[in-house]
Amino acid sequence: KYSWCFILVFFAFTNCFSQNADPNSGLIPAPFSIKKNPGKFFLHKRSIIQTDLKDNKAVFFLSSYLQQFKNINDTLRNDTAASVIVLTNIGADTLPDEGYRLSITPKRITVTGRDAGLFYGVQSLIQLLADTKTQVTSTLNCMAIEDHPRFKYRGVHLDVSRHFFPASFIKEYIDLLAAYKINTFHWHLTDDQGWRIEIKKYPRLTEIGSMRAQTLIGNYHDRMPQQFDHTPYGGFYTQDEIKDIVKYAADRYITIIPEIEMPGHSLAALAAYPELSCNPKRTYKVAETWGVFDDVYCPSEYTFNFLEDVLTEVMQLFPGKYIHIGGDEVPKSIWHNSAFCQHLIKKLKLKNEHGLQSYFIERIEKFLNDKGRSIIGWDEILQGGLAPNATVMSWRGEAGGIAAAQQNHNVIMTSQNSGLYFDKAQGKSDQEPLSIGGYAPLQQTYAYNPVPQVLTAEQQTYIIGVQANLWTEYIGTTAKVEYMLLPRMLALSEIAWTPLANKNYKDFSETRLPRHLNRLDASCINYRVPEPIGI
Ligand code: TNX
């Protein structure tokens, strides 16, 4: 009799111990609060989803997940099943934006949330349903989660100009973002090395501007200096593909911010339409090497008309509030030597070429503001004075972001020195594939806090979020995109979502990360295997 009792106590103890060993139940990003309760919920063939919500993205996402991965069909039938997943927005009005409640009891799971909140509750549930070893475990420990994000802007970027990745891969990328509660995809669509978005009014942008005269030789394992052959390389997204991707992202509560670079990083456009330059008689080539090029848009009426036409088509494709207008790395030598520009500087009573850059950005901002949109620019848009309503992406460190917040402008932190540049190597080993230079290990990404302590509490509210950038000069394949993105993006998701007090690198990397890497393995997604703590 006593031995039974002993065994029971022993099981209760080990069960309790194993739950405590994983205080966040494997979730990435770790939630705001999580309380473990006794008991288990069993998911089985006859489990159903119960909901009053019509035509709801979260409901649709969960029922297709259950069909695809758990082989549970017909989840929306009316039935008195023994185990029920309730999706509801009743009681959700008290939740913060994008927040959700997830309650697991022996007979019933309830996910409560509005819009994105409900979707994130479903994402957490799906993470709990995916076991470490198999994809089919269907037993969940009872618990109650209350969750909402630390920042409202949680972004990941991809440069598709330096290398082009097909529309189908962009959707896979979006799937990864959504699974980790990232809500913004910054799509870097134009640069010196390729124009990647179809613009109906200017067909040469893609006919000429999307192709360059060389292809990178080698694969993603290469640690050799890059070599090229002379077969043409390029690609672009048609407007139909873009519409499809925008909808795909919206179904996952991801807003896409398109970036149209100006006035610099514009050689591909100049190659297509030399009239956009200050020396229209010259011919230009789409760049075949990396770096910063002197040839930039001329601040002429021709250029402004062109950009307004381009942005008009861009706005028709991308319904979100923000358009990214670039603004980084604009050499001023051509403007300095151009009689037209010098005349313009005098006429507009500007101080110098920096003033001309601000004039350029402010004109574009006004055009977009009048259409109800807002601009984001890289931190160089501070030079010569910020456009009145601009949001700043602070990439050359935090100084630009701090200055912008002090001027009451919204800021997104994306500093290249803080583990957010995923084009840097993840390890110091010479086994790492070739990359841009520098080092951004997982632990550095994880440790980053986007809110600079030098700001007052009031100024800190202008830091609306954080983003990681994936520039692709040295990334020619989708497998290498995945390798550079992962697992660092999981650390980013925790910077962006989890309250500071709940962050813990050991818990993240040793307790929770392994099951996520298994999940990536099961989906045949590439990643870098992180080294144990302390190496
Ligand atoms: C700087 S970040 C750039 C990009 C490069 C990147 C490489 C930024 C606004 N400009 O054009 O791809 O460095 O890390």
**Residue 19 to residue 9: CA distance in whole angstroms:** 15
Check residue 349 and give its pLDDT: 97
Tokens of 389: 């309503």
Same domain, yes or no: 249 and 305: yes
Q: Is the pLDDT of residue 230 over 90?
A: no
Mark whether 180 and 104 lie in a shared domain.
Answer: no
Residue 483 lies in a domain: yes
Which pLDDT score is estimated for 132? 41
Is 140 a member of any domain?
yes
User: Are 23 and 54 within 8 A, CB to CB?
Assistant: no
Q: At residue 214, does pLDDT exceed 70?
A: yes
- Taking the centre of ligand 1 as the mean of its atom positions, its distance from the CA of residue 471, in whole angstroms, is 7
Per-residue model confidence (pLDDT) at position 533:
66
pLDDT of amino acid 409:
98
Question: What's the total number of domains in the chain?
Answer: 2
Q: In the prediction, which pLDDT does 74 show?
A: 78
Distance between CA 107 and CA 82 in Å, rounded? 6
Range of the domain at 64: 20-147
pTM of the predicted structure, to 2 decimals: 0.95
Asked whether residue 346 is assigned to any structural domain, the reply reads: yes
Q: Kindly state the average pLDDT of the residues 460-481.
A: 96
Q: Are strands 463-468 and 153-159 parallel, antiparallel or unpaired?
A: parallel
Ligand 1 atom closest to Cα of residue 423: 14
Ligand 1 atom nearest the C-alpha of 396 is: 2
Predicted confidence band of residue 239 (pLDDT cuts 50, 70, 90) = very high
> What is the average pLDDT across 93-122?
97
Task: Report the pLDDT value the prediction gives residue 138, as an integer from 0 to 100.
Answer: 78
Beta strands in 312-394 (DSSP E): 322-326, 374-378, 391-394
Cβ–Cβ under 8 Å, residues 477 and 219: yes
Domain boundary among 86, 120, 147: 147
In a domain, 508, yes or no: yes
- Within a domain: 506: yes
| C-alpha 346 to ligand 1 mean position (Å) | 32
CB atoms within 10 A of CB 383: 18
Give the residues across from 185 on adjacent strands.
156, 256
Q: Are residues 28 and 75 in the same domain?
A: yes
Collect all residues with Cβ–Cβ distance below 8 Å to 305 and sequence separation of at least 6.
none
Domain for residue 393, yes or no?
no
What is the 123 CA–ligand 1 centroid distance (Å)?
32
CA distance 97 to 147: 10
Residue nearest to atom 5 of ligand 1 (CA): 471
- Ligand 1: atom nearest CA of 329 is 10
Residues 240 and 340 in one domain: yes
Same domain, 175 and 309: yes
Where a domain ends, among 147, 168, 190? 147
- 143 and 236, same domain (yes or no): no
Report whether residue 329 contacts ligand 1, using a CB cutoff of 6 Å.
yes
Q: What ipTM, to 2 d.p.?
A: 0.96
Decide: 293 in ligand 1 pocket, CB within 6 A: no
Confidence class for position 130, pLDDT limits 50, 70, 90? confident
Q: Specify the pLDDT at position 229.
A: 84
Q: What is the pLDDT of residue 464?
A: 98
Active site residue 259: no
- Let me know whether 237 and 142 are in one domain: no
Q: Looking at the structure, do residues 202 and 316 belong to the same domain, yes or no? A: yes
Residue nearest to atom 9 of ligand 1 (CA): 328
- Say whether pLDDT at 15 is over 60: no
The C-alpha atoms of residue 37 and residue 123 are separated, in whole angstroms, by 20
Check: CB of residue 482 under 8 Å from CB of residue 488: no
CATH number of the domain encompassing residue 301: 3.20.20.80
- Same domain assignment for residues 81 and 175: no
Report the range of poorest mean pLDDT among 59-68, 190-199, 219-228. 219-228
Ligand 1: which of 412, 416, 471 to mutate, most ligand atoms within 8 Å of CB?
471
Return the CATH number at 100.
3.30.379.10
Confidence of residue 14 (pLDDT cuts 50, 70, 90): very low
Q: Where are the alpha helices (DSSP H) in 21-101?
A: 57-70
Compare 407 and 15 and report the one with higher pLDDT. Answer: 407
pLDDT tens per residue across span 136-179: 557 899 999 999 999 999 999 999 999 999 999 999 999 999 99
Kindly give the number of the ligand 1 atom that is closest to the alpha carbon of 326.
9
The 3 state secondary structure assigned to 363-377 is HHHHHHHHCCCEEEE
User: Which of 329, 380, 398, 494 is flagged as catalytic?
Assistant: 329
pLDDT of the residue at 133:
46
Q: Is 253 exposed, middle or buried (0-12, 13-18, 19+ CB in 10 A)?
A: buried
- In-domain check, residue 371: no
Contacts of 139 (CB under 8 A, 6+ apart): 40, 41, 42, 43
Establish if 14 belongs to a structural domain: no
Ligand 1 centre distance from Cα of residue 71 (Å): 44
For 27-51, the pLDDT digits (tens) are 999 999 999 999 999 998 889 999 9
Tens-place pLDDT, residues 310-357 = 999 999 999 999 999 999 999 999 999 999 999 999 999 999 999 999
Has residue 189 got a pLDDT over 70?
yes
pLDDT of 283-317, one tens digit each? 999 999 899 999 999 999 999 999 999 999 999 99
pLDDT score at 75: 79
173 and 191: one domain? yes
Q: Are residues 200 and 324 in the same domain?
A: yes
Say what the pLDDT of residue 218 is.
65
Q: Is the CB of 422 under 6 A from ligand 1?
A: no
Give the per-residue pLDDT at 19: 54
Q: What is the mean pLDDT of the chain?
A: 93
Last residue of a domain, one of 147, 167, 184: 147
Query: Are residues 296 and 243 both part of a single domain?
Result: yes
Residues 407-454 have pLDDT tens digits of 999 999 999 999 999 999 999 887 898 899 899 999 999 999 999 999
pLDDT score of 252 more than 70: yes
Measured CA to CA, the distance from residue 268 to residue 286 in angstroms comes to 5
CA distance linking residue 105 with residue 92, whole number of Å? 19
